[in-house]
Amino acid sequence: MKAIEIKHLTKKYGKQVAVDNISLSVDKGEFFGFLGPNGAGKTTTIKCITGIATFDEGNITLFDTDVVKDYREARQRIGLSPQEFNIDFFGVTHKVLDYVAGYYGLHKEKRKERVEELLEQFELQDHRNKPFNTLSGGLKRRVTLARAMVHDPDILILDEPTAGVDVELRHDLWKHLRRLNECGKTIFLTSHYLEEVEMLCNRVAIINHGKIVADKPKEDYLKNGRKLEDMYLEITGGKVNYN
């Protein structure tokens, strides 16, 4: 069964085509990397999957559930960690997690248990009563990641989850994501750290100017001892200035 299936998705902002008739699918349990330069359409695609954005053409299903017709069922299965922080500035950490768990219908006792688990996992216990706007960038990222996982979703969509995160947490996060993936969770990851994608993902798609320009198993990019970064630059037509 496909965890995510996107068919002929087109999203326009006025006359600007942000995503241009893309189709891709992610298998259940897959660790999927979605790469592209800034403004290529990665975040827009994620917004269409999660319901933050509407789209003009095409359809998206999550485990065969249409994200428009059956939006509630579809949203129950996704956890989103967005690129930009979108948490109540004045909300304190444990309450933010508790409220979001509530939106997903978790009972009080289960919520409490889950919030404590995540506070420990992301080393946020000392910051549990601090308002979001007083946290450092790295801590904010941790809260955002914990929030995405609060309802134990089947699909985790992580839009640049390690941006602004220190090396220790990044390594912890990689370990944790691997563990989640081994437990059967599907992970959809975008990142500008290509070594991270190379290390974690089974399959990688590249989007450029709103179109999918590559979609294949990771190994196919790494033939003849090449690095994902070299292939990525070649495919997107990017140039590296070594001076």
Residue 135 binds another protein (CB under 8 A):
no
Among 14, 16, 89, 242, binds another protein (CB under 8 A): 89
Total number of residues binding another protein (CB under 8 A)?
A: 33
**Residues shown for the chain:** 243
| Contact (Cβ atoms closer than 8 angstroms) between residue 175 and residue 19 | no
Using DSSP, how many helices (H) and how many strands (E) does the chain show? 9, 10
Q: Considering only 70-78, 173-181, 193-201, 216-224, which stretch makes contact with another protein by CB under 8 A? A: 70-78
Q: Is 170 exposed, middle or buried (0-12, 13-18, 19+ CB in 10 A)?
A: middle
236: alpha, beta or left, given left = phi > 0 and alpha = psi -120 to 50?
alpha
Q: Considering only 74-82, 135-143, 215-223, 228-236, which stretch makes contact with another protein by CB under 8 A? A: 74-82
Edge-first strand order for the sheet with 65-66 is: 16-27, 2-13, 57-62, 65-66
One symbol per residue from 18 to 47: x for binding another protein (CB under 8 A), - otherwise; what is it?
A: --------------------------x--x
* CA distance readout (Å), 139 to 77, 116, 119, 144, 216: 25, 16, 11, 9, 34
Among 57, 88, 123, 182, binds another protein (CB under 8 A): 88
Residue 38 identity: N
Residue 129's CB is within 10 A of a number of other CB atoms, namely 9
Nearer to another protein, 33 or 82 (CB): 82
Nearer to another protein, 89 or 242 (CB): 89
Among 86, 125, 134, 136, binds another protein (CB under 8 A): 86
Among 56, 57, 64, 73, binds another protein (CB under 8 A): 73
List interacting residues with another protein (CB under 8 A).
13, 44, 47, 50-54, 70-73, 75-76, 78, 80, 82, 84-90, 99-100, 102-107, 147
